[in-house]
A and B are shown apart, each in its own frame.
Chain A
Amino acid sequence: KAGVTQTPRYLIKTRGQQVTLSCSPISGHRSVSWYQQTPGQGLQFLFEYFSETQRNKGNFPGRFSGRQFSNSRSEMNVSTLELGDSALYLCASSSGTANSGNTIYFGEGSWLTVV
């Protein structure tokens, strides 16, 4: 069974540009979450989608957005990139919620560098 797949793995963008990251969850999983990991702030929750609906959102500016498709694949978009957006972006998938005992599986992440 394939794991969580994230593309691209590495990318470099210029300030002011926008970026789209993609995530394919484990087959059968309908929940997809996104996290940002930086050395200073650690791992922070961005948002979660379940059956194409955003179910939760973290404390990030509106430049960060996402969506989920009918096949559960998800994309996140960051517009007007800032240097501080340089981070590892992790996608996670699950068949349900963590507090219901479901395991959340993570992909290997997309490394974004903003110059």
Chain B
Amino acid sequence: AQSVTQLDSHVSVSEGTPVLLRCNYSSSYSPSLFWYVQHPNKGLQLLLKYTSAATLVKGINGFEAEFKKSETSFHLTKPSAHMSDAAEYFCVVSDSILQGGKLIFGQGTELSVKP
């Protein structure tokens, strides 16, 4: 069965410093992986997705993630944090082909950005 583990429930950075949100996955085959962001009282917005093409994936708002099969990781990074990046971030894996559109979410990482 697929699973996702977000290694930090809360990350705090200063504005202008790098962001690293860690995610490990478990999958018995080649997965599709996503990062979504949720701002307070809002729905989920897709930041980026990996679907077995390039291992370094660039997303919106300067975020990127690298798929590392040997480490079963898909960490999210951004070179310089902005105040507007404060939100909750979810690492997500798609279930098997047999399970169609089912997504499996990590528990989320809350990102705080200090001025």
A33-B103, A56-B102, A105-B46 known; A43+B32 contact, CB < 8 A = no
Bound CA span A41–B15, Å: 31
A48-B100, A108-B43 known; A99+B94 contact, CB < 8 A = yes
**B31: A residues at CB distance < 8 A:** 99
Which of B32, B46, B90 interacts with A99 by CB under 8 Å?
B32
**B32: A residues at CB distance < 8 A:** 98-101
A99 touches B43 (CB 8 A): no
A45 touches B102 (CB 8 A): yes
Which of B51, B95, B101, B104 interacts with A31 by CB under 8 Å?
B101
Identity of the chain B residue whose Cβ is nearest the Cβ of A57 in the assembled complex:
B102
Q: Does B89 contact A (CB under 8 A)?
A: no
Q: Closest approach, in angstroms, between the C-beta of A23 and any C-beta of chain B?
A: 11
**B106: A residues at CB distance < 8 A:** 42
In chain A, residues 33-54, which have Cβ atoms closer than 8 Å to a Cβ of chain B? Answer: 33, 35, 42-45, 48, 50
Interface magnitude class on chain B: 20 to 34
A31-B101, A33-B102 known; A101+B51 contact, CB < 8 A = yes
B44 touches A90 (CB 8 A): yes
A residues neighboring B (CB under 8 Å): 4, 31, 33, 35, 42-45, 48, 50, 55-56, 58, 90, 92, 94, 96-101, 103-109
**A96: B residues at CB distance < 8 A:** 101
Bound CA span A94–B100, Å: 11
Q: Does B99 contact A (CB under 8 A)?
A: yes
A98-B34, A101-B51 known; A90+B43 contact, CB < 8 A = yes
Q: Closest approach, in angstroms, between the C-beta of B36 and any C-beta of chain A?
A: 8
Q: Closest approach, in angstroms, between the C-beta of B90 and any C-beta of chain A?
A: 7
Q: Closest approach, in angstroms, between the C-beta of B109 and any C-beta of chain A?
A: 12
B101 touches A55 (CB 8 A): yes
